[in-house]
Structure 1
């Protein structure tokens, strides 16, 4: 089963929670007793003791967060301790220029991801071109094959070294960088090949806020996610770069990449991964390293199937089925045009808000023609569809909505 630990979990915090649960059970707290009954495999025996042992509370906590026992939870936390990165914890105002460049250039997978940050990184490099020679992580973030060649020729082991603001390897900075420097496809692939030839791990990654689904180099290449393709775009040369990594040993089962790319109907990432063995690959290095903390393949496929069914992505279900994934339980929702184009959904938004966020130009036009009101504000943020398009950096959708207002 997959871990359900909170962000940035610590053993000290979990020990405190276990003791708190123990005390609450001893005091007869109904909520605590219910927690034990829900998660302890032998709850009634454990609760029969007036003292309710600490190991019973620890086992309850471990099972609550998706682990078979306390020892497995502790083992995961020890493994994860050196792999976690919390981008939001970084104080960029205190960074020296090289680290500041790397920080600005990288997808962080939080609410700060946006094109102006990447442009700020580009501006830093324009102002100080020698930054690429400051260290290997800057050269990788800039995908500069000349600077990388100089540094790797002098010290090949730098390809495996962790550093920079996020304590990543150079390959991670390259694959998560979105800085607009005008690099060509050949320059980017050349820079990546230099790192791989020097020993860079194609399965490098980190645990975002200590959570158990690794963000790998491949995850960075494929990009996207909950913030949308405008704020967390795929790498400009995603297909070529992902192909190179896969050919050099990156494992095709990348749970986080599949999650990040499931929000739109595009299936190009799945097609590429299936070509390289996604359907029946052996356990990945990350699955071996993290063990039961990671979601199972069954859980991974269920999420993909459920999302595709709910969104009416029939082509995705067909693709999964063609590669031997059992989609027989899928409940395919047939997308229909809303009877009321101004009706609010469960997010308190109109269909026009959602189309603006997705940058779906044909749907935006159709909704407007059907009487959708672009001035309606959603119930959560109090913003219009234009605001949603601008926040998502869906520039074409924003321009379409602005033009409609002018008309």
Structure 2
């Protein structure tokens, strides 16, 4: 099952948590006893002795976070220690020009992701084009095949981790969103790296999460901040095809999650064409074991989102490829009876349409009387504010006009 650990998990922190649970259970603290009863498979036996054993506390903690036992949790945390990267911890003011270019160029999957950063990276490179010669990671972030060839000729290796994020060069190439290069340059740069031995399944664990952010994840892009703040690679289809043809495993749980929010199914078409439906275990699944979600969990999330949001074409595609969608009821995409009703997160349908940049839905909601001046309950922002934050400029223009009426 999928791990439910917090960001940046620490073995020392979890050891302290287990010892604390042991002491609290011994003291009869109600919350501790409830945790043991909910997560320990033999709670009554474990709580029967005069002293609640540390190994029982460790088992309870491990199962609370989705592991079968403490050894499995420890195995994952030991692996994660070498694979975890937290982009939010980078102090870009302390970086060299080449490292700062790398950091500005790539998706971080944090609130920092936004078009001005990639424009700043392009400006930095234009002002100091020689920075691509500083190291292989800058050459990769620039998608510069000539600079990469020079780096490789000078002895750089494609498996060495470095740069501001501690990534392999291929990851900087795949996550880069600036500067704009041609398709031919991008594919030539990626091919150079792959020919030199780069791993098409290269990846890292974002803040220690158990679902790897792979090279494919970076190419496919998108995610919770939307397609303008976390866009696909400019040549996503061609670059993803190259990676898959060179051996990238088609089961990429994080890419599937990041791309599930909108109706487009091009990523699924490509992954199914390369064996998504019946592929064996991926290198990451073998490496991380039970910490990763099962295929059943992966498909269940895809089906649930598609059904709840009326993505009937996606459900049909999944069914055609053997994914069990039987009995799934597809929500009918229609306007709410009250266009200004707040959802569980305190936002209106117009807020969500603005976030997605769905101009057709925005117009339908406005025609139905939706009020564009309503602020949501969480951020106290209007739909216009949501559109601006998501860099949905067309939606923002539409909403400004509506607010002037």
TM-score (norm 1): 0.98
Conserved? CA contact 1:160–1:199, under 8 Å: yes
In 2, Cα distance between equivalents of 1:153 and 1:93: 31
Partner of 1:207, secondary structure, is strand
The aligned counterpart of 2:14 is 14
Question: Mean Cα displacement is larger for which, 277-286 or 325-334?
Answer: 325-334
1:318-366 deviation line (CA, Å, top 9, x unaligned) = 0000000001142321111122222222221111111110000111111
Whether 1:62 and 2:62 are equivalent positions in the alignment is: yes
In 2, Cα distance between equivalents of 1:346 and 1:73: 34
The aligned counterpart of 1:271 is 269
Correspondent of 1:236 among 229, 234, 237: 234
Please, which runs of 5 or more residues in structure 1 have no aligned partner? none
Conserved? CA contact 1:106–1:177, under 8 Å: yes
How do 1:1-400 and structure 2 match up within 5 A? 1-155=1-155, 157-179=156-178, 181-400=179-398
In 2, Cα distance between equivalents of 1:71 and 1:339: 53
Deviation at 1:169, TM superposition (A): 0.3
Deviation at 1:75, TM superposition (A): 1.1
Partner of 2:205, secondary structure, is strand
In 2, Cα distance between equivalents of 1:186 and 1:398: 34
Conserved? CA contact 1:230–1:392, under 8 Å: yes
1:112-150 deviation line (CA, Å, top 9, x unaligned) = 111111111111111111011111000100101111111
Structure 1 segments (4+ residues) deviating >4 Å:
none
Deviation at 1:153, TM superposition (A): 2.2
In 2, Cα distance between equivalents of 1:80 and 1:340: 47
Conserved? CA contact 1:306–1:331, under 8 Å: no
In 1, Cα distance between equivalents of 2:234 and 2:323: 30
In 2, Cα distance between equivalents of 1:53 and 1:342: 54
In 2, Cα distance between equivalents of 1:60 and 1:405: 54
In 1, Cα distance between equivalents of 2:101 and 2:132: 10
In 2, Cα distance between equivalents of 1:338 and 1:32: 43
**Aligned pairs, how many?**
405
Partner of 2:82, secondary structure, is coil
Conserved? CA contact 1:143–1:183, under 8 Å: yes
In 2, Cα distance between equivalents of 1:150 and 1:173: 17
In 2, Cα distance between equivalents of 1:184 and 1:405: 40
In 2, Cα distance between equivalents of 1:104 and 1:94: 13
In 2, Cα distance between equivalents of 1:375 and 1:71: 54
Please, which runs of 5 or more residues in structure 2 have no aligned partner? none
Deviation at 1:405, TM superposition (A): 3.3
Q: CA RMSD in A?
A: 1.0
Question: Mean Cα displacement is larger for which, 366-375 or 306-315?
Answer: 366-375
TM-score (norm 2): 0.98
Deviation at 1:406, TM superposition (A): 4.1
In 2, Cα distance between equivalents of 1:79 and 1:348: 39
In 2, Cα distance between equivalents of 1:59 and 1:329: 37
Question: Mean Cα displacement is larger for which, 332-341 or 112-121?
Answer: 332-341
Deviation at 1:398, TM superposition (A): 1.1
Conserved? CA contact 1:8–1:211, under 8 Å: yes
Partner of 1:81, secondary structure, is helix
